[in-house]
Amino acid sequence: MRVTVIGAGIVGLATAWWLAHDGHAVTVLDEAAEPGSGTSYANGAQLSYSYVAPLAEPGVLSNLPKYLLDRNGPLRFEPRADPAQWAWLLRFIGACNAGAAARGTASLLRLAFASRDALYAMLAQTPMQFDHVRNGKLVVQSSAGAMRAAEAQMRLQATLGCEQQALTAGECLALEPGLASIRDRLTGGILTPSEEVGDCYKLCLELARVLATPEFGTTLLLGTRVERLVVEAGRLRAVRTSKGDHDADLTVLAAGVAARALGRSAGVTVPVLPIRGYSITAPVRASNRGPRHSITDSARKTVYAPLGGALRVAGFAEIGTRGPTPGRVEALARETDAIFPGACDTGSATTWTGLRPATPTSLPVIGPTRIQGLALNAGQGALGFTLAAGSARLLADLVAGRAPVVDPVPFRP
Ligand SMILES: Cc1cc2nc3c(=O)[nH]c(=O)nc-3n(C[C@H](O)[C@H](O)[C@H](O)COP(=O)(O)OP(=O)(O)OC[C@H]3O[C@@H](n4cnc5c(N)ncnc54)[C@H](O)[C@@H]3O)c2cc1C
């Protein structure tokens, strides 16, 4: 089959890998000059297979006033006169209940584990270098209540196949002496030895390299902006681009936050809203003062990942902000210096902001749409690096008509 994939981020490129692997003739379109230069560029670097619980959970609603009022908090919501934002929020609020959160966690965990297997299968066939290590993840807590909630989630996840252990504050410090600066507020942590980190942008470049080899024979058309999708009589007729029309037997929309507008041009609702986040990447100066594992500071909602010779620090979630909020990357640098003093050179850090393509339930939308010849693979939100390989594998299974790697129903567009 001739397949067009729109988007050369981690989701689109992984999709191209699995479809080309199945023998399809794949063309990937992206408006950018380089693969991986959208949200996949400098994310938190976590392959966080055991931390996939949806953002919508019962506790969020009681904190909503705080998110509206606290302009400097880790989560921020700015209401806008945008019907799509309100439709998204209503669905999000509808998903803020224990039942939906537990079902969402179970579906996402299955997709995450399939994703780990899919990534390992890809690497076994086509080795790719992207600073990929399994260094484990330690999520530290700063109040007794937060630690109890984390232990309850750990017990739930144990029933779903996760291997995690609760550590006391002392055990956290023994494992990560660099955390001594937050000794006073540390109440414990959850350790997940199987978690991994990697450089998502480097993996995108490696995927583009592999896809261009004769074994995969994929065409990558960069600098090609998709203007809209042309539908006739319920069938996708063409992908209209800045360089002319493309027709294919199947088009997969994997354009991250742009999937909503492009889907709309075909009359398909893609329930994706951008959630802005920020990162800094600072060269490591004294590795003995920095983290060995990937660390999440749960109270501050900040992640720290040792990546190559640097520390990648990511955080903040903003809905509805019109552009980057001043002071965010400086705040990440200050937090880094406070939690791991002297570990890295935050003064010469590179900084970045990106938009998570988030659905109200945190479940991505994967599979065929009601428009013949159009499929979606979008909405991986805060977990696109983690979920990309499994999402791509699931889409390829559905296209091939073989037994899907996970139950596709929760992810149906
Ligand atoms: C601060 C931050 C930290 C994060 N940390 C993590 C993490 O630690 N672990 C994790 O798993 N995930 C993380 N994420 C989420 C992850 O980065 C995203 O889910 C993932 O990158 C989305 O990939 P994508 O391919 O869907 O989108 P993108 O990478 O944005 O790719 C979409 C592509 O579509 C192209 N495109 C868009 N419109 C058009 C058009 N009209 N025509 C042609 N091309 C178009 C864009 O140029 C882009 O290349 C984080 C995100 C942020 C913002």
Closest listed residue to residue 351, CA positions, set 318, 326, 383: 326
Side chain identity at 389, as an amino acid letter? A
Distance of CA 250 to the CA centre of its chain: 25
Which one-letter DSSP state was computed for residue 96? -
Q: How far is the CA of 348 from the centre of ligand 1 (A)?
A: 25
As a residue count, the chain comes to 413
- Confidence (pLDDT) at 236: 98
Rounded to whole angstroms, how far apart are CA atoms 170 and 305? 21
Rounded to whole angstroms, how far apart are CA atoms 204 and 218? 14
- Write the residue with the smallest CA distance to atom 27 of ligand 1: 256
Confidence label for 14 from pLDDT (cuts 50, 70 and 90)? very high
Q: Which CATH superfamily is domain 46-98+131-196+273-358 in?
A: D-Amino Acid Oxidase, subunit A, domain 2 (3.30.9.10)
Q: What are the residue boundaries of the structural domains of the chain, listed by start?
A: 2-41+202-270+362-411, 46-98+131-196+273-358
Rounded to whole angstroms, how far apart are CA atoms 140 and 168? 10
Confidence label for 75 from pLDDT (cuts 50, 70 and 90)? confident
Rounded to whole angstroms, how far apart are CA atoms 355 and 278? 9
Closest listed residue to residue 30, CA positions, set 18, 19, 41, 43: 41
Q: Is 263 in the pocket of ligand 1 (CB under 6 A)?
A: no
Closest listed residue to residue 358, CA positions, set 306, 320, 329: 320
Confidence label for 45 from pLDDT (cuts 50, 70 and 90)? very high
Q: Is 11 in the pocket of ligand 1 (CB under 6 A)?
A: yes
Q: Is 45 in the pocket of ligand 1 (CB under 6 A)?
A: yes
Rounded to whole angstroms, how far apart are CA atoms 291 and 328? 22
The atom number, within ligand 1, closest to the CA of 316 reads: 1
The single residue listed with the structure tokens 């484990």 is 136
The atom number, within ligand 1, closest to the CA of 262 reads: 41
Backbone angles phi, psi at 210, to 5 degrees: -65, -40
- Confidence (pLDDT) at 70: 79
Residue 117 token pair: 């297997």
Rounded to whole angstroms, how far apart are CA atoms 243 and 262? 17
Task: Summarize the confidence of residues 196-206 as an average pLDDT.
Answer: 98
Q: How far is the CA of 344 from the centre of ligand 1 (A)?
A: 27
- DSSP bridge partners of 47: 196
Q: How far is the CA of 130 from the centre of ligand 1 (A)?
A: 17
Confidence label for 60 from pLDDT (cuts 50, 70 and 90)? confident
Residue 68 above 80 pLDDT? no
Residue 193 above 90 pLDDT? yes
- Confidence (pLDDT) at 282: 98
Q: Do the beta carbons of residue 229 and residue 353 sit within 8 Å?
A: no
- Confidence (pLDDT) at 154: 95
Task: Summarize the confidence of residues 2-31 as an average pLDDT.
Answer: 98
Which one-letter DSSP state was computed for residue 217? -
- Confidence (pLDDT) at 339: 97
Task: Summarize the confidence of residues 203-230 as an average pLDDT.
Answer: 98
Residue 73 above 90 pLDDT? no
Confidence label for 117 from pLDDT (cuts 50, 70 and 90)? very high
- Write the residue with the smallest CA distance to atom 9 of ligand 1: 46
C-alpha R_g of the chain: 21
Closest listed residue to residue 393, CA positions, set 18, 5, 7, 1: 18
Q: Is 362 in the pocket of ligand 1 (CB under 6 A)?
A: no
Which of 48, 385, 386 gets mutated to test ligand 1 (max ligand atoms within 8 A of its CB)? 385
Q: Is 279 in the pocket of ligand 1 (CB under 6 A)?
A: yes
- Confidence (pLDDT) at 58: 87
Q: Is 357 in the pocket of ligand 1 (CB under 6 A)?
A: yes
Q: How far is the CA of 372 from the centre of ligand 1 (A)?
A: 26
pLDDT tens, position by position, 146-181: 999 999 999 999 999 999 999 999 999 999 999 999
Which distant-in-sequence residues (6+ apart) come within 8 Å of 198 by Cβ? 45, 47, 130, 131, 132, 133, 307, 385
Task: Summarize the confidence of residues 398-412 as an average pLDDT.
Answer: 98
Average pLDDT over the chain, rounded to an integer:
96
Q: Is 198 in the pocket of ligand 1 (CB under 6 A)?
A: no
For 2-41+202-270+362-411, CATH number?
3.50.50.60
Residue 69 above 80 pLDDT? no
Closest listed residue to residue 186, CA positions, set 201, 164, 175, 170: 170
Q: Is 359 in the pocket of ligand 1 (CB under 6 A)?
A: no
Residue 299 above 80 pLDDT? yes
Q: Is 10 exposed, middle or buried (0-12, 13-18, 19+ CB in 10 A)?
A: buried
